[in-house]
Amino acid sequence: MSAKILITGAAGFIGSNLAENLIKSGLEVIGIDNFSPFYPREMKEKNIALLKENPNFHFVEGDIKDLERIKSLPEFDLMVHLAAKAGVRPSIENPQDYIDTNITGTHNLLKLCVDRSVKKIVFASSSSIYGNSKHLPFVEEGHEYEPISPYAFTKRSCELMNHTYHHLYNLDIVNLRFFTVFGPRQRPDLAIHKFVRLLEAGEEIPMFGDGSTARDYTFIEDIVSGIVSSIKYVQSNSEVFEILNLGNHTPVKLKDMINAVADVVGVKAKIKQLPMQEGDVDVTFASIEKAEKLLNYRPETSFKQGLEKFYQWHQKKQESFSRSSKQ
């Protein structure tokens, strides 16, 4: 796998973990990120601090909505497009921001690839595009999609736009539908990270609904492995347009997730039950047969193992913060 790879959203949770993996493999990586204020810039800066010391990592601060800025990016051979405005609930409050970043930003990048004759693309989609499909587990083809949030419809729109560019310009594209990724560097607004902080502080855990909703939690190392396999797949094949689920094929109910997180932290959860929120789907459940067949994708980290690894990272982060605050 020899290539110069562009990673959009390179300072984020998935992007920084992927960049580290590729750099360790001896590849050259160009990263772009706009340090969106969705969560503290300092966290993203720490994600890529060590990467910036490596001569094979070239970082550009910029926004994918800014076409002139991305035109100034160094040359690359393959793009892994992870950058997006994330979050189901905030997308309901401000859908235009999601349209601008996720759809217009993706279009800018597709145009850049066409202009530079870059043919190979891996795109980060989302399990949210399935909505409340009753066909379980979720299979990539064979049923209607019914997104129930602006975030979800922007991701589905990008998949369709990718297909148009594949058809018109012969771009080889693998679309990866991620299922609830968690692990070290996870965004602080996401449930596991948030619940750990609340449990440590002795505060109540907000549980939306009766706790029966379920998510197919997928550990970051398994997701990165799937992306790397997708890079190899798109490099070694032509006339490619694929949509693949990257999940763990094991949904975990919300009430069970809360108890599992509490066990790892070593406390008993105090739960505050609240009504279901708009845009939240009932269940996510990935069929991963297609990814197994095409990518040899096999998630290796159980939910409990992933939680333990996340909490170890969280504790180290807290210890590091405590030391730096005393200096």
DSSP assignment of 127-169 equals GGGGTT-SSSSB-SSSS-----SHHHHHHHHHHHHHHHHHHHH
According to DSSP, the residues that pair with 246 across neighbouring strands are 178
- Please identify which residue in the block is written with the tokens 């970043």: 101
The catalytic residue among 98, 130, 145, 151 is 151
According to DSSP, the residues that pair with 177 across neighbouring strands are 125, 245
AA identity, residue 293 = K
Catalytic residue list contains 151: yes
61 close to 39: Cβ distance less than 8 angstroms: no
Compute the distance between CA of residue 102 and CA of residue 300 in angstroms, rounded to an integer: 30
Q: What's the count of helices (H) and strands (E) in the chain, helices before strands?
A: 12, 13
* HSE of 124, CA atoms in CB hemisphere, 13 A: 27
Residues with a known catalytic role: 151
